Amino acid sequence: MFHKIKNKADSIEECQKNQDWTALSKSYYQLGVSAMEAGDLNHAHLWLHRADTIYSADDDIYDAVGEKLMNDCSDRIGQLEEEALLYNDVPSSVEEMAESLGDAQIRVWGLLSLARLVKLGEKLSVLPGCEVLGNLGRAVDTVLKSFQEPPTEEEFNGLKDLCSVLYDLGDSPVFWGMGSAIDVPGGEPLQVFDLNGLLSVLEIEAYLHGHLEFICALSQEEEPPSPETGIISAALLPDYYVRTGAGNLAETPQIKAELERISSDYDFLNSEMTWDLIQQRVEEYKKLDILA
């Protein structure tokens, strides 16, 4: 089994080197099937979702991979969604907790989680094509300010442009194809594709897009759309820890610490919070290295 997995890992590197995206998607799919058949459901989740991300990003890859593979991959992902995995349990738990909060509290909860991705985004922004991730700090500042006063036209358009670039990044080989990575002191390198875990880049885009809709609704004295909760678990980075060999995800120190921060933020939202306290918490999180 070890040699088979090693050979498939070598195949992934070869596909990345040759920019053979169809073969890369198939290699991830094969890894996912092998992991699922071995009962390793976290790795199955990791690899099958990577396969799905790649063939869903490009019509040519979609056609080349073929319906048989895609249908089986989709079926397997559906089966994994029914399993007791951190990938499923945390978003479900967050949704349940959010039911006791008001919309404004949920939006702030999301902002606090986004702030914890700022430092990581700055580190990843040095990778080719990933410069946009260095703009998360400015986005956090704009969102926080806009809770208290309308944003300027420049600020609004800045968030709108950021959403567009983030959306395109999720569909780009720069994100899912090159294997680009940054060094992590004391750990394995972190790939930008590791942000696909809990669909982090898309959740960032969705949160910011939702905030723009919120701003527009307020300016037109309309009812804002309900806030999404996906961003709240986006800083967990489960794909990174699964890919680099973590055992029990919930006991991985960095994930355990992030789960505690999510819970602490929930308690904070239920306290006598003020905008000064929110800003103080945001500033602390912007400096946080969630990989440490």
pLDDT digits (tens, 9 = 90+) for 228-267: 999 999 999 999 999 998 778 999 999 999 999 999 999 9
Interatomic CA distance for residues 160 and 135, integer angstroms: 12
Sign of CA dihedral 118, 120, 126, 129: negative
Mean pLDDT of the 215-240 span = 95
* pLDDT tens track for 122-154: 999 999 999 999 999 999 999 999 999 999 999
Cα-flanking dihedrals φ and ψ of residue 245, to 5°?
Answer: 100, 15
Mean pLDDT of the 173-197 span = 96
Statement: residue 10 has pLDDT above 90: no
Contact 50, 176 (CB under 8 A): yes
Mean pLDDT of the 10-18 span = 89
Statement: residue 8 has pLDDT above 60: no
